[in-house]
Chain A
Amino acid sequence: MYVTGICLFLCSCQHGRVKIKSTAQQEEEKRKEREKKLKAFVSARDAVLKKRSAGEHDEEALQLTRQLLSSNPDFATLWNYRREVLLHLETLREKDEVQKLYESELHFIEACLKVNPKSYGCWHHRSWVNTRLPQPDWTRELGLCDRCLSLDERNFHCWDYRRVVVKESGVSVEQELQFTDRLIGSNFSNYSSWHYRSTLLPQLHPQPAPDPAPNTSPSPTASPQIHSHRVCEEQLLKEYELAHNAFFTDPNDQSAWFYYRWLLGRAEREEMISCVYVSREKRRVSVAFSKPVHAQSEGLMLVLDGQPQQVQWRSAHPRFRHSPVWLCDLPPGSVSDISNEHNLTVHWTEKHTHRDCALYTGEMSESWCRDSATDQELFRSELSVEKSSVLQAELQSCNQLLELEPQNKWCLLTIILLMRALDPLGHEKETLAHFQTLKEVDPMRSTYYSDLCSKFLIENTILKMEYAEVRVFSLSNKNLTTLCHLDQLLLVTHINLSSNQLLRLPPQFAMLQCLEVLEADDNAIESLEGLYHLPKLEEVSLRNNQICKLSDLESLASCTKLTRLDLRGNPVHKTANIESELNQLLPLVTALSL
């Protein structure tokens, strides 16, 4: 009898096994639960909206919105309503009670932040509450931010809110720097902290005012660059070490490399007029600036022999509102007499700077006054702030890393930049080799590297040209993919760009106001937009390019001196009646090769 009883019992609980609800049962339960929640939410929402339209600002409204927001903190309308209610209650209560009211509000927001730490509404409301709070507790807020950031160091809502808190609570810069130390220490792949550091360091350890007698300066003239937002050298060396630690630990992490680039410095060029060129024959003045400007609004004034002139400034190409090169035509007859010497001054009133240029008597049809690129160390500007000894040491460190990590793109790129800052011409060969490696290890960005390489080659060629004191720019067979620094070529008369990979002559090409001969054979040029109003251009050779349509050649019509044009090996020759059409378009061209 016992036996049967026991057996029955055992059967009922399946040999002691616990019975568990099936997945379907569980899901059904969950579905019902969700439905119930939804119903409750919708009815509460409707009640709140009704209250709001009725203009009721009472405790009940706070209670209702609290229920809704604690399950969905992203409901911005409810936060707005809450603010209305709070503002109303504020008028009714004593100061102590207001403090309490808002403190409980902060607690509530905290709970909402746990639901969604990236809720715009929550963070905004928190800032607002702190502005209303009679005695805000900033230390507590700072603690909250630290905790949030320790959970998610990239929560930008929190970073933003933290900035507000730090500003309001007057946390010292030292403490903030320690804060970044801590964050970087726990995970250095956090660019937010590195960047924050870069804003704190110049405040804490500013660079002392520049020495009036710069004996250490490599160039005999004072460097025309401004070094703002810089850090004193002692601290800088520590920062280099920190960055080394990061990129030696993980050379593939970009945060540290970006910070390192910032440390190496980026000089800002002084705003100045770098060149004034006058052509007697064309009665034209060309002015080059150190950076693109908008001449019409910058108060540019031309004074000829002491007489201010009413001139119309225009950029080299109508495409540009801002341009580093601006042109104007002098009134007829003002400089035509070759027996008179003329003195020309361009005033840049906005920047209190000016540049003179004298047009002497005699057969000289043109004249200019300029700072050469070599004197300005123009192309070292990206990393030129540091003393070369520091840069040399950094180059050494990077080379050490490269030995261990020959494939690392960040290292390669930084080495290239350092080499350029130290001695662009001396390191040219190594630079090119590194670019080659870069393109192999990082094929996704090979075009970027090609463009960068082109830029550096152009810079080097400009330097060589200036050392040779010629006006001929030749850069053929160098795999150029893009053209840049064309404002520096204002005075160039002959240019040879053959056997490269150029796709177009960009609008900036119109800055080459002195250009007479252009050779650009064996490229892949499709567009000639930049050959626009080049007053001296006589000869253009564009053999074996990709010019397809007659319309592509239309801009050439604006070059009034063009007489020789070579278009052999271009698809355009297939066009019907090409010769007659071209004769019609460019009647002055006498030597046309198709």
Chain B
Amino acid sequence: MPARPPDCVKDCFPVGRAPSAGELAPDPAVPGESMLRSYSTCLYGSYYYVFFFFVAVHKFFWFAPDVLTESVIAAACSRVGQSVLHLDRRNYYAGNWASFTFNGLLSWIEEYKNQQEVQITELEQVWRSLIDEGEDAVPLSTVDSSISNLEVFCYASEEEEETKAPLTSFQPVNAETVSEETNGDSTEAQDTVTGDDATASDAKTPNEEHEVSEPKEEQHTSDISEPSQSQEEKESQLISSPADPPVEVEKKITYQKLVKEGRRFNIDLVSKLMYSRGALVDLLIKSNVSRYAEFKNIGHILTYRNGKVEQVPCSRADVFASKQLTVIEKRMLMKFLTFCLDFEQHPEEYQDCTEKPFREFLKNKKLTENLQDFILHSIAMVTQQTLTEEGLKATQHFLRCLGRYGNTPFLFPLYGLGEIPQCFCRMCAVFGGIYCLRHSVQCLVVDKAANKVKAVIDTRGQRISCSHFVVEDSYIRDEQRQSTAYRQISRAVLITDRSVLPSESDQLISLVTIPPLESSAPAVRMVELCSSSMTCMPGTYLVHLTCSSSGRAQEDLAPVVSQLFHVSTIPGEEPSEGAEERSKPAVLWVMYFNMRDTSALDSSNYSLPSNVHVCTGPDGSLCSDYSIKLAESVFHHILPDEEFCPPAPNPEDIIYDGDGPQAEGPGFDESTNTEEDKSQAEEEGAAHEKSPSTESSEPAEMDSVTQQAPSDTTPPSEE
């Protein structure tokens, strides 16, 4: 099987594991390998004859936009030989598929609150001169309004080790305090985030975050002498409260610690898992993109029932081991699941119920309450209203995914979901796609007669021609929309100190389905990530909650959070209300927000030229199949005769025209440069210090070509 095995398989022998041959070897065609770990945004267009300019500029600065659909389309187009320019819109990474470090997320929160829509009139002056007769300009939105109701609460102890008591008082407990404090530092935050060098920004953020959340006078001492102080803290606590077992003292995680270890976090705005036989995994395998990532199998499927977190018996081994089920229930469950596996073969079993809800069908099957709950909420993961056939299909899909990579049907990419779009970006780049960071498009240039986009005008006032334009929904201004009513997803991101269901291994990823607490409320899906998933620091768990919104995210999700976790009233307070509270994991930090779910929209919802393809944002479902299917359909719309993501060849099978890895080399050598071009190139080179002088000629040449070259696929330009 071409897919990389889950990590559990890899370490089969205690010593001397051989590295997997060649798979992760740097590819000569991908520059800036070490900078792949980054977060960014999301605009991409399919371009002809302009891309060399960007190659030169961004040769050493290769940032990956993080929107799954767009990056898959880009990779697919690039793979079949199309020229792709993938632009990053904002000056800050905010794509809804992004993964953030803890510090990055804090900065993002600030950035988010401060963003403002630029008035069209201001922009218009820039592009007026570039628009010709018979052309129209369609401006794009500069504000991402897909996130709303953002609220942050911190419960981790803020205590500085030596001065515990006085500090507690000013610690922010509600969102207002946090935002006020952070607002003051917003400019610095911006600087950090927009820095060219990823490592520089990473190195800078911890300091800066200290400022955000702490009084300034405390900052420096804590920075310099943290390790020794934490040691002191341990000792002093041991002395002060001898009744506490030492283990607990060691476990205690302060806010400073979170910030200090912030780079160990990879916090996704979108929470999804990969069905091991879902569209995404199939695509990763088919296209050989899987070689760029590693995955971890989800260890636990849990549910919350009768006030307890319980394991959901879904695989054969689970059913066997389950203690909640009677043997009769075990048989009934297995029998039902076996039936679901090929339910199409037994239409007589469900024919009478096709018009009825799945829940009723389960009742008709004489399954006990227990089993009905397990199947409906945790296996099929559908609602009370879902019809029988859909429920059966969902159950079947779940079951078919079992056992491919382990005892649960799900995989999670190490380092967070943001890895997946990056893998596709990487493939896109391998096949010549160009990536630009902090380079956005102001408006589209539309040929009025054909109602087609013929060019775009970027934020530097350059006009770049293109034949197709793919864009995320959040970039579309309301003027281009038929309707502005959206569904919303409620999200919460928590950092906790232990797992909701401790087991032999503390390094398991768990999926917890929480049936509606009241009948009107939506079911909540929770994914608890352990530190070995590379999304949080050791000793913590990163918990994502998702549900379809009925109101503000905090209103939707806080009741669930308080059911499952210990939410202290005073930061850093130890749970004390008896054994029950103590057994729950404590919340250290939590963020609530609503995210716009545009997945129900299609092209009829926008009034846009026909060669503009809108990628609707992440949907609320557990898997990414929606995005992949959308990518495939857009791709076929752009290139009806091409194969979608055929397997990428092995590096050793690629022929480099006999002269080195840079196929484009000879083309540039013969070119001559004008002075004007040169100076522009030098400017670019200066902006990105690493651009070597030998390549400075390329952008100029290409730039001039842009204005002249006719294309074999696009209509001839005005010259």
Judged by a CB distance under 8 angstroms, whether A401 is at the interface is: yes
Indicate with 1 or 0, residue by residue over A187-206, a CB within 8 angstroms of chain B CB atoms.
Answer: 11000000000000000000
- Inside 8 A of A140's CB, which chain B residues have their CB? 14
Partner of A249, one of B15, B18, B319, B654: B319
- Inside 8 A of A16's CB, which chain B residues have their CB? 78, 81-83, 431-432
Taking the nearest CB of chain A, how far is it from the CB of B222, in angstroms? 42
- Inside 8 A of A187's CB, which chain B residues have their CB? 316-317
- Inside 8 A of A144's CB, which chain B residues have their CB? 13-14
Given contacts A147-B12, A186-B317, contact A401 B654 (CB under 8 A): no
Interface size of A in residues (CB-CB distance below 8 Å): 45
Indicate with 1 or 0, residue by residue over B1-38, a CB within 8 angstroms of chain A CB atoms.
Answer: 00000000100111110100000000000000000000
Indicate with 1 or 0, residue by residue over A163-204, a CB within 8 angstroms of chain B CB atoms.
Answer: 000000000000000000000011110000000000000000
Would you call B12 and A151 a contact (CB within 8 A)? yes
Judged by a CB distance under 8 angstroms, whether B117 is at the interface is: no
- Inside 8 A of B330's CB, which chain A residues have their CB? 245, 248-249
Taking the nearest CB of chain B, how far is it from the CB of A339, in angstroms? 70
Flag the segment in B146-154, B320-328, B350-358, B603-611 that touches A.
B320-328
Given contacts A18-B649, A19-B657, contact A9 B328 (CB under 8 A): no
- Inside 8 A of A21's CB, which chain B residues have their CB? 649, 653-655
- Inside 8 A of B327's CB, which chain A residues have their CB? 244-245, 248, 397, 400-401
Taking the nearest CB of chain A, how far is it from the CB of B301, in angstroms? 15
Taking the nearest CB of chain A, how far is it from the CB of B485, in angstroms? 42
* Interface members, chain B 42-94 (any A CB < 8 Å): 49, 78, 80-83
Least CB separation from B667: chain A residue: A9
Partner of A246, one of B14, B320, B649: B320
- Inside 8 A of B187's CB, which chain A residues have their CB? none
Judged by a CB distance under 8 angstroms, whether A503 is at the interface is: no
A16 to B83, alpha carbons, bound, how many Å?
7
Least CB separation from B313: chain A residue: A249
A26 to B655, alpha carbons, bound, how many Å?
12
- Inside 8 A of B191's CB, which chain A residues have their CB? none
Judged by a CB distance under 8 angstroms, whether A107 is at the interface is: yes
How many B residues touch the partner, as a band? 35 or more
- Inside 8 A of B335's CB, which chain A residues have their CB? 404-405
- Inside 8 A of B714's CB, which chain A residues have their CB? none
Partner of B316, one of A6, A18, A250: A250
- Inside 8 A of A143's CB, which chain B residues have their CB? 14
Taking the nearest CB of chain B, how far is it from the CB of A514, in angstroms? 51
Given contacts A6-B709, A20-B655, A245-B330, contact A110 B317 (CB under 8 A): no
Partner of B80, one of A9, A17, A107, A248: A17
Least CB separation from A405: chain B residue: B331
- Inside 8 A of A5's CB, which chain B residues have their CB? 667, 670-671
- Inside 8 A of B710's CB, which chain A residues have their CB? 3
Partner of B331, one of A14, A114, A188, A248: A248
A112 to B705, alpha carbons, bound, how many Å?
59
Taking the nearest CB of chain B, how far is it from the CB of A151, in angstroms? 6
Taking the nearest CB of chain A, how far is it from the CB of B664, in angstroms? 7
A151 to B655, alpha carbons, bound, how many Å?
38
- Inside 8 A of B671's CB, which chain A residues have their CB? 2, 5
A188 to B322, alpha carbons, bound, how many Å?
13
* Interface members, chain B 291-341 (any A CB < 8 Å): 316-317, 319-321, 327-328, 330-332, 334-335
Would you call A20 and B13 a contact (CB within 8 A)? no
Q: Say whether chain A's binding surface is mostly helix, strand, loop, or mixed.
A: helix
Least CB separation from A114: chain B residue: B13
- Inside 8 A of B664's CB, which chain A residues have their CB? 9, 13
Number of A-B contacts (CB under 8 A): 116
Partner of A20, one of B18, B321, B649: B649
Judged by a CB distance under 8 angstroms, whether B209 is at the interface is: no
Judged by a CB distance under 8 angstroms, whether A111 is at the interface is: yes
Taking the nearest CB of chain B, how far is it from the CB of A470, in angstroms? 46
- Inside 8 A of A248's CB, which chain B residues have their CB? 327-328, 330-331, 334
Would you call B15 and A110 a contact (CB within 8 A)? yes
Indicate with 1 or 0, residue by residue over A241-268, a CB within 8 angstroms of chain B CB atoms.
Answer: 0001110111100000000000000000
Indicate with 1 or 0, residue by residue over B216-248, a CB within 8 angstroms of chain A CB atoms.
Answer: 000000000000000000000000000000000
Taking the nearest CB of chain A, how far is it from the CB of B325, in angstroms? 9
Would you call A147 and B431 a contact (CB within 8 A)? no
Given contacts A6-B49, A404-B332, contact A245 B320 (CB under 8 A): yes
Judged by a CB distance under 8 angstroms, whether B708 is at the interface is: yes
Taking the nearest CB of chain B, how far is it from the CB of A308, in angstroms? 61
Given contacts A6-B705, A248-B328, contact A20 B15 (CB under 8 A): no
Judged by a CB distance under 8 angstroms, whether A429 is at the interface is: no
Taking the nearest CB of chain B, how far is it from the CB of A31, in angstroms? 15
Least CB separation from A22: chain B residue: B653
A26 to B332, alpha carbons, bound, how many Å?
53
Judged by a CB distance under 8 angstroms, whether B660 is at the interface is: no
A201 to B709, alpha carbons, bound, how many Å?
83
Judged by a CB distance under 8 angstroms, whether A39 is at the interface is: no
Judged by a CB distance under 8 angstroms, whether B666 is at the interface is: yes
Partner of A110, one of B13, B407, B657: B13
Judged by a CB distance under 8 angstroms, whether A12 is at the interface is: yes
Taking the nearest CB of chain B, how far is it from the CB of A124, in angstroms? 19
Partner of B708, one of A3, A245, A400: A3
Taking the nearest CB of chain A, how far is it from the CB of B11, in angstroms? 8
Judged by a CB distance under 8 angstroms, whether A15 is at the interface is: yes
Would you call B654 and A18 a contact (CB within 8 A)? yes
A405 to B338, alpha carbons, bound, how many Å?
13
Least CB separation from B17: chain A residue: A114
Judged by a CB distance under 8 angstroms, whether B663 is at the interface is: yes
- Inside 8 A of B80's CB, which chain A residues have their CB? 17
Interface centre among B321, B331, B432 (most CB of A within 10 A): B331
Least CB separation from A150: chain B residue: B12
A52 to B371, alpha carbons, bound, how many Å?
68
Would you call B331 and A404 a contact (CB within 8 A)? yes
Judged by a CB distance under 8 angstroms, whether B701 is at the interface is: yes
Would you call A249 and B334 a contact (CB within 8 A)? yes
Indicate with 1 or 0, residue by residue over B668-684, a CB within 8 angstroms of chain A CB atoms.
Answer: 00110000000000000
Given contacts A244-B327, A249-B331, contact A188 B317 (CB under 8 A): yes
Taking the nearest CB of chain A, how far is it from the CB of B368, in angstroms? 13
- Inside 8 A of B317's CB, which chain A residues have their CB? 185-188
Partner of A111, one of B16, B666, B705: B16
Taking the nearest CB of chain B, how far is it from the CB of A493, in angstroms? 51
A58 to B599, alpha carbons, bound, how many Å?
71
Judged by a CB distance under 8 angstroms, whether B174 is at the interface is: no
A349 to B573, alpha carbons, bound, how many Å?
82
Taking the nearest CB of chain A, how far is it from the CB of B194, in angstroms? 31
Would you call A26 and B653 a contact (CB within 8 A)? yes
Taking the nearest CB of chain A, how far is it from the CB of B299, in angstroms? 12
A111 to B12, alpha carbons, bound, how many Å?
11
A144 to B16, alpha carbons, bound, how many Å?
13
Least CB separation from A242: chain B residue: B320
Judged by a CB distance under 8 angstroms, whether B704 is at the interface is: yes
Would you call A13 and B331 a contact (CB within 8 A)? no
A493 to B265, alpha carbons, bound, how many Å?
90
* Interface members, chain A 310-334 (any B CB < 8 Å): none
A250 to B657, alpha carbons, bound, how many Å?
59
Could you write out 24 A-B pairs with CB less than 8 Å apart?
A2-B671, A2-B704, A2-B708, A3-B708, A5-B667, A9-B664, A9-B666, A13-B663, A13-B664, A21-B655, A110-B14, A114-B13, A114-B18, A143-B14, A144-B14, A185-B317, A188-B316, A244-B327, A245-B330, A249-B319, A249-B330, A250-B320, A251-B331, A401-B331
Interface set of B (CB-CB < 8 Å, partner A): 9, 12-16, 18, 49, 78, 80-83, 316-317, 319-321, 327-328, 330-332, 334-335, 407, 431-432, 649, 653-655, 657, 663-664, 666-667, 670-671, 701, 704-705, 708-710
Other than the given A21-B653, A185-B317, 18 more pairs (CB < 8 A) read A5-B670, A12-B667, A16-B78, A16-B431, A18-B649, A18-B654, A19-B654, A19-B657, A26-B653, A111-B16, A114-B18, A143-B14, A147-B13, A151-B12, A249-B319, A250-B334, A400-B327, A404-B331
